[in-house]
Structure formats: C-alpha cells, structure tokens
Amino acid sequence: MRAASVKTPLMRAQSVTRQIGQVLIIGFDGTEMSPRLASLLTNIQPAGVILFARNITGAKQAHTLLRECQKCVATPLFTCVDLEGGTVDRFRRVIGSTPSPAEVFATGSRLLFRKYGRVIGENCRALGFNVDFAPVLDLAFEASRSVMSSRAVSDDPKQVVAYAREFLHGLGNAGVLGCGKHFPGLGEATLDTHHELPSVDKPLRKLWNDDLVPYRSLRRELPMVMVSHAAFPAVTKKRTPASLSKKWITDILRKKIGYRGLICSDDLEMGGVLAAAPIERATEQVTIGHIRAGGDLGLICHQEDFILRAHEALVREAERDGRFSRRVRESAGRVLAFKKKTFDKKSTAGRCTPAPTPARVEKLTRQLWEFGEEIRVATFAREEHA
C-alpha cells in the first residue's frame, strides 16, 4: 500500500487547512495564553508547539501554558523543547543546570547515559513536554569544535551510537520522545547554521562510514530525526541545505537508510536555510521546500508573521499543485498515525501528567543536583584509574 493513500477517519474529516497544520511545529512569544495565541493555534491546528527559555518562568506556569495550547488544537500536540544539557538547557532557571552531553559521556558509564536520559525525561514530563529534541548525533570532529562544543560527545560513531541508544532508552522510559540531530551530520561544519550556511565537502562514501552511522544504527529506535541546514555539495552537486534536499531526505534517509519515523527540519527561520531562498519570500519557500523534499514537520520557532505566511503558502501550493498536495497528505497521515500509536492512553507518553507542585519541583531539583555530583565523581574515578 502506498503511504500517500493511508488515511485515518480523523484525517478524512479535516479540511486541507487542518491537514497542513499537521506538518508544522510552531513557537511563539509570551509566557501565558492570550487571545492572539489562541487564534493562531485554532486557525493553524499545528502538529506541535515548542517552548524556549523565553516562554518558561516556572514549572507550573509551563505546564499550564502547554495545557492551554492543547485546548486550542483538536489532535494531541507534540509539546517540544530543546533540552540537551550543558549549553542548551531551557530549564536552567526553573529546575537547575543539567550536565552537558560531553560531561556525561566522559564517565564512560552506559548506566549513567541511560540515567541521563531518564532524568531529563522526568524533568520534561513534569513540565508537560512529550518531545525533547535530543540527542545530538553529530560527531565531535575538530572542525566543528568551536560551534558544537560540549553538545557532541565523540568522534567515534560507534561510541556515539552507544551513548545515544542508552539516552533514548532513558528518555523513553520517562514517556518522552527523542529526536536525533542534525542529519546528516554537522561534525565537519565550521559555521553555525543559526546564522550561516555551512558547506561540508565530504563524499557520500565517507559520510556513510562516519557521520551517518548513528542514523543507520538507530533507524528503528529514533522516533524523530531532525535535518540540518548544512550543504553537502559533493553529494547533491549543489549548495542546497540538506533540509531542502530530496536527495538527502527521501533518497538517502528514507530509502537508502530505511528510516520510517518522523522527519523534521531544524528551525526554518535560521540564517543557514533562509540563505537558500529569495529574501522576500524566504520562510514560505523553505517551508514548502522541506515538505516537498520529503520532510514531515517544518519547525518555525519564533515570528508569528512567518508562521502565518508559511501556512498560507502551504495551502496555496497544495491547491495549485496536485503532487505537492499528495506529499502534504502523506506526511500529515504519517504524523496522525504516529500520534495515534504513540499517545495511546495506556502508554507512558499518552498519560496526562499533573501540574508540578513545589514539592515535586524541589525533588526534581535535588535529583538533578545529585546526578551532577554522580557525574563528577564517576569522571574523577575514571581519570584516576586511567
């Protein structure tokens, strides 16, 4: 059966606008529900929302905000956050500082890798999140050290797989979905995709044996994969970001690697991807480009105006182009089917979590501090015996 023909009863009842909403995850400003935000969510009916530190002032506040978002949307929301630990930590002011991936990896303990995922997952669940855009699967090559820093754990792909597998297991035990990133790999990228378009001049054969090993090995264990905004001209013969590349998303990730989970973009407002489109319609074009290339979920994390324009552009393109309309329906169907399976009320991810009490937050803060101490002791002991 062709994936494009798979439709749920819910999907049949939805308008094309709501189907298109299922290929978007959106961010916004503010720390509480407002008429403007409620209107945005109600009109677009997105697949998910993502919160940043700017949206989070307290544990109960974040939980309440996410619950209010869900009330505006008919389907279960992906409630997303970037919580890698170290430099990427949206809960620092609420629960405390989380050790970095590199610090945890330095212990060499697979038990601690798994516990790391569980601790992060429990913190996410307590605040109402069900998706964490982690772990980072980029290899820690010297070329990207100034950009990736402690976010990447090793230049050995087998070690990255061992770490990520345990992290994902711990995250999943807490009822949180993980997302491997940044496909096909930023290990050789010398520029920050938030601001510029890096170009990695590495042939597919070397990428296959190095950077792509984590995605190949974990293809059945990754609920989601995030595609980067780096260009790989030796593979695509052009400077198109991977996030807009059918060669990377459909031909390599879907077909050659055989990945069957959800594929999302990195933030489509980043300078690295916007550089690939005409400035006057950049966000609209890159959102359409990501879905056309085979992506399931486009992330637009900041400006409401960009979100509205991208949504309208997707609707217009689906009405104009039958092939693109089928592509949207395929991804929307995949997202809805994934949600139905994942958010079953009997599953850990599907169960609602109560608003965190002060006592619960204090317990999580203590647990996080104790975990940090455990990491320091384990690293010291390993260095002593080296």
- Could you give the 3-state DSSP secondary structure of residue 249? helix
Looking at residue 385, its pLDDT comes to 76
Looking at residue 141, its pLDDT comes to 87
Sign of the dihedral defined by the CA atoms of residues 174, 348, 92, 357, in that order: negative
When pLDDT is cut at 50, 70 and 90, the band that residue 195 belongs to is: low
Degrees, nearest 5: CA angle 264-193-291:
30
Q: Structure pTM?
A: 0.91
Looking at residue 350, its pLDDT comes to 67
Looking at residue 7, its pLDDT comes to 53
pLDDT of residue 1 exceeding 50: no
Q: Which amino acid type is present at position 361?
A: V
- For the purposes of burial, counting CB atoms within 10 Å of the CB of 32, is it exposed (0-12), middle (13-18) or buried (19 or more)? exposed
Strand partners of residue 263: 225
When pLDDT is cut at 50, 70 and 90, the band that residue 272 belongs to is: low
251 is catalytic: no
- Could you give the 3-state DSSP secondary structure of residue 364? helix
What are the pLDDT digits (tens) for 137-167? 999 888 788 788 889 999 999 999 999 999 9
Sign of the dihedral defined by the CA atoms of residues 55, 56, 62, 64, in that order: negative
Two tokens, residue 164: 């990520």
Average pLDDT rounded to a whole number, residues 279-303:
86
Selected catalytic residue, list 29, 156, 194, 195: 194
Q: Where are the beta strands (DSSP E) in 246-293?
A: 262-265
pLDDT of residue 48 exceeding 70: yes
When pLDDT is cut at 50, 70 and 90, the band that residue 17 belongs to is: low
Query: CB–CB of 306/300 below 8 Å?
Result: yes
Looking at residue 199, its pLDDT comes to 86
192 is catalytic: no
Selected catalytic residue, list 266, 267, 296, 302: 266
pLDDT of residue 280 exceeding 70: no
- Could you give the 3-state DSSP secondary structure of residue 227? strand
pLDDT of residue 5 exceeding 60: no
Query: CB–CB of 257/207 below 8 Å?
Result: no
